[in-house]
Amino acid sequence: MSQARIVGWAHSRFGKSDASSTQELMTQVVKPALDHAGVAARDVDGIFVGVFNNGFSKQDFQGALVAMAADGLDHVPAVRMENACATGSAALYAALDFIDAGRGDIALVVGAEKMTAASTEATGDILLGASYRDEEADVEGGFAGLFGRIASHYFQRYGDRSEELALIAAKNHANGLANPYAHMRRDLSFDFCNTVSEKNPYVAAPLRRTDCSLVSDGAAAMVIASASVAAGLQRAVAFRGRAHVNDILALSRRDPIAFEGARLAWQKALADGGVTLDDLSLVETHDCFTIAELIEYEAMGLAEPGKGYRVIREGVTRKDGRLPVNPSGGLKSKGHPIGATGVSMHVMAAMQVCGEAGEMQIPGASLAGVFNMGGAAVANYVSILERV
């Protein structure tokens, strides 16, 4: 078990932001996170930044930008991590390793992305950088097209599950109504999500617009401290278990609908924490597309391969179900600013186990799972959080 603790956080509203850059977005969350933790900037020993970029901004060297967000961070060592859609989790795990290795007592983690200033065409090409371009660069529809192919393969093997994808979309949008940070706080009915229309066209068949997460701007930050420092602060959230497992980047070299890396990450994290799915109060999972959440039900062990549809049909993952999944609204409603997503997911889970989730709160939440993935289930991170 990691001895590092989450002791504070901050989260911007996701969506189309007036902020002109990731620097401005990060500035919005750095000081509030330090204040939430009750920690001074001068006490930070390391800064870990998650920004995907890859062309969203000409300004790179993004790890160095955080020092300008608060006085006292001038000479703190800072690095920037990138791991596709799991960039935020990569930055967080680097901070945890930094603390666990004894290199410092307090670390600041910041994830951010400014996406909406780029054109739709440019955004699609930038995001394809998280695929294997040698074989997948010609996929029509960008990353949505890639997951459209995954959905098609899944349907061919197990049957058309378009209705279940619509149920997932409707569930997450209903949950997102309670999330003040969400990009789209709109209750979309099952009928709307399940019907192809002018307002809900195919983006990459069989995926409709309501099956796809949003292009968003936003930032989130966390303060991580050693157990000894955390003991003197207002709150401390521990990592009961955590795991990072990769899979082959090229989809042609693996079963694209098995999400084997995700399955192994879940198994390792649960074993590390000495718990099972039945012990969890909730899960925040990576629903970049609804087909991803469906397959993730199977990868985490809620259903056998091909049977994930039963999970949503039976209401298991609804907010009032046996294991609520994405009570925050998930990426589908909350939004998906690439570098911020992994940090955001851990903030949402930490809020829950601390009883600080407001209208999103799952009553009595004590143990929360987080699954964040980079690419098409290539970089897979699973965390099990609990308040201590």
Q: Which of 288, 336, 346, 354 is catalytic?
A: 336
Asked if 85 is an active-site residue, the reply is: yes
Which three-class secondary structure string do you get for the chain? Answer: CCCCEEEEEEECCCECCCCCCHHHHHHHHHHHHHHHHCCCHHHCCEEEEECCCCCCCCCCCHHHHHHHCCCCCCCCCEEEECECECHHHHHHHHHHHHHHCCCCCEEEEEEEECCCCCCHHHHHHHHHHHCCHHHHCCCCCHHHHHHHHHHHHHHHHHCCCHHHHHHHHHHHHHHHCCCCCCCCCCCCCHHHHHCCCCCCCEEECCEEHHHECCCCEEEEEEEEECHHHHCCCCCCEEEEEEEEEECCCCHHHCCCCCCHHHHHHHHHHHHHHCCCHHHCCEEEECCCEHHHHHHHHHHHCCCCCCCHHHHHHCCCCCCCCCCCECCCCHHHHHCCCHHHHHHHHHHHHHHHHCCCCHHHCCCCCCEEEEEEEECCCCEEEEEEEEEC
Q: Which of 85, 212, 288, 354 is catalytic?
A: 85
Asked if 336 is an active-site residue, the reply is: yes
| Residues with active-site annotation | 85, 336
